[in-house]
Structure formats: structure tokens, C-alpha cells
Amino acid sequence: MDDKNIEGQLLDELEMDGYQKIDRYNTHKIKQLADKYREILKDIGEDPTRPGLLNTPERVAKALLYFTHGYDMDPAGIIRSALFEEEYSQMVIVKDIELYSLCEHHMVPFFGKAHIAYIPKGKIVGLSKIPRVVDVFARRLQVQERLTNDIKDCLHNTLQPAGVAVVIECTHLCMCMRGVQKQNSVTTTSAFTGEFAKETTRAEFMRLISANLV
């Protein structure tokens, strides 16, 4: 399946789930962006009329719209679409959620993993909605710190749990392929609410996300 079909399929699925009308790929918007990329190609010393680049501006336009499709989505709505009453009050952890985002300073990718936990207080959420919320916030221009807080705030406000924990580990390509050029540095950010303010609860979460239990 080519990139366009994969993107199209993902967006179709999201629309089918009724999250929000997604109108990112209309022809007018793609053309507007593609025209700008044609100019950018000239500015970097390329010839946009050479055969290999003829469709590149449209491809890049669609890719950028895909990389930032989180702007068109409603993360709180995603959580609210699958809330269930349940008397489970232990920690729920979804770890190793891969994410891809764009740093807002250079518009270069940063990518890595999110580890998320919450302690329910009467309500649990459909598990898949947690990675979906990660993607909504990741698919925008971000800094890792705000991405971390956005996810924490969304879960905290919609689930109203006894606590939320978010840890994100990422590689920033703006620090690898340019600038300081450090290939192996990993940035870790975290945000905690409620019960996770307690040292023991936080330590249990950190131990469980570090463990290889499966």
C-alpha cells in the first residue's frame, strides 16, 4: 500500500469512529501548499521541473498535512467516546507507545515512546484511546515538554482519575542531523498528577515501565 493509501485509510478510520470531520486533504489546500514547496525547491537550488521532482511538491504537501493532522482532532472527545464505569482502582499502564512528532523550532521530527498510567476513580477508558490521544497531540508542532503536559491534562480532565503519569523518551533529529549533532542523546520528560505525587506510587510506575514482564 502506498503512503497516500495508508494515510487515507487511517483518516477514514478516524472519521468512521466519528471523532471529527477531517478536511485536511482538499485539493485547494494541497495546491496552495504545493505551490509554496515549488518555490522552496527553487530556493534550495533545485529544479522543480526535472522529472524526479514533478510530483514532489504535492507529495510533501500531503505529508506535512498528515504530520500535523492532530490540529483537526478532538482528544477529549476521543476519551469521552469510550468511558466505562468500573470499580477498578489499581494502576493502569500503557507503555511503549511509539510516537512521531515535529519540533516546533525546526519542524524536524522527534520520535520515541510514551509511557502512560492512570489510577481510575470509578471510570476506566478504552485502552486504545490512550495511544490515540498521544497521536493527536504528537501530530502537531510541539516541544516535548508541552506534548507531555497536553497528554497529562487531557487524561486528567476527562477521566478525573486518582492520578495520571506520563513519561516520554524521544530522539530529536534537530540534535542529530544538524546543530549539536549528538546521535545518541535521548530526552526524557515526565508529568504526574494526584496519587503519582507520592514517591511510592511514582516508583511503582517507574519500575513497571522499566520491567520486561511479557
Ligand X SMILES: Nc1nc2c(ncn2[C@@H]2O[C@H](COP(=O)(O)OP(=O)(O)OP(=O)(O)O)[C@@H](O)[C@H]2O)c(=O)[nH]1
- Calculate Rg over the CA atoms of the chain: 20
50 binds ligand X (CB under 6 A): no
182 binds ligand X (CB under 6 A): no
Q: How far is the CB of 144 from ligand X (least distance, A)?
A: 4
The three-class DSSP label of residue 3 is helix
CA-to-CA separations, 33 to 37, 104, 180, in angstroms, rounded: 6, 18, 30
Residue 51: DSSP 8-state: G
* Segment near Zn ion (CB under 5 A); pick from 28-36, 90-98, 167-175, 201-209: 167-175
Q: Is 103 annotated as a binding residue?
A: yes
Burial grade of 90 (CB within 10 A; 0-12, 13-18, 19 or more) = exposed
Give the one entry of ligand X, Zn ion, none that residue 175 binds, where binding means its C-beta sits below a cut-off of 5 to 8 angstroms depending on kind: ligand X
176 binds Zn ion (CB under 5 A): no
Pairing of strands 163-172, 109-119: antiparallel
Q: Which residue is nearest to Zn ion (CB)?
A: 174
Among 53, 92, 174, 176, binds Zn ion (CB under 5 A): 174
Please give the grid coordinates belonging to residue 46. 533545485
174 binds ligand X (CB under 6 A): yes
Q: Is 176 annotated as a binding residue?
A: no
Which residue is listed with cell 509554496? 36
Binding positions for ligand X, rule: CB under 6 A: 103, 105, 143-145, 172, 174-175, 179-180
Chain contacts with Zn ion (rule: CB under 5 A):
103, 105-106, 174
Q: Residues annotated in the binding site for Zn(2+), as ranges?
A: 103, 106, 174
